């Protein structure tokens, strides 16, 4: 992954790791830490999260001993692992978009013998299977944007 940036907190970026330090969490509470990254290729990725140090003792965890604490090769939602680490397996979906044009209309600008001033209007529909809901493009120097699977008139 590349372009790893935090969306919450102020972690330190160490090569392939974001390290959040000096976090405080009351007993029984939870915390969500968010980051954004760009997959380098169409590979599967495993993102690991682990408590590596704690100021107070935790009777059912040993901070810093990894996320697969029972050694069974499963770290994602494994109830047999300690509760101070977990992972998630990410499988990026390849970009798959298509576009279609419909309802093409020519406005001759009342100069039917001169096609140089004609204006064309059409509906553009951009289709995608991604989880995103919107798209943006540049058409002849003009920024154009819309929602996937919804036609816009240009």
Per-residue pLDDT of the chain (154 residues; tens, 9 = 90+): 777 878 777 888 877 788 888 888 888 888 888 888 877 766 778 888 888 888 888 888 888 898 999 999 998 888 899 888 888 888 776 677 888 889 999 998 888 888 888 888 889 898 887 667 888 888 888 898 988 888 988 8
By C-alpha distance, which of 154, 134, 153 is closest to 145? Answer: 134
Contact residues for 89 (Cβ-Cβ < 8 A; gap 6+): 44, 45, 46, 76
Residue 117 is given by DSSP the state G
Q: Are the C-beta atoms of residues 42 and 1 closer than 8 Å to each other? A: no
Query: CA dist 27 to 30, 54, 56, 123, Å?
Result: 9, 12, 10, 56
DSSP 8-class letter at 11: P
Helix, coil or strand: residue 122: strand
Question: Is the whole model's pTM more than 0.75, yes or no?
Answer: no
Identify the pLDDT of residue 131: 63
Phi, psi of 136 (to 5 degrees): -145, 145
């Amino acid at each position: 992954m590349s372009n790893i940036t935090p969306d919450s907190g102020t972690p330190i970026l160490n090569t392939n790791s974001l390290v959040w330090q000096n976090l405080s969490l009351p007993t029984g509470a939870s915390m969500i830490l968010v980051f954004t990254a760009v997959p380098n290729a169409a590979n599967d990725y495993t993102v690991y999260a682990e408590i590596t140090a704690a100021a107070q003792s935790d009777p059912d965890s040993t901070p810093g001993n990894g996320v697969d604490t029972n050694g069974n090769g499963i770290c994602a939602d494994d109830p047999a692992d300690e509760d101070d680490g977990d992972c998630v397996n990410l499988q990026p979906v390849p970009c798959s978009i298509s576009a279609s044009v419909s309802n093409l209309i020519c406005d001759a600008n009342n100069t039917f013998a001169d096609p140089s001033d004609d204006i064309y209007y059409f509906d553009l529909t951009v289709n995608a299977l991604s989880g995103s809901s919107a798209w943006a493009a540049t058409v002849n120097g003009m920024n154009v944007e819309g929602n996937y699977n919804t036609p816009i008139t240009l």
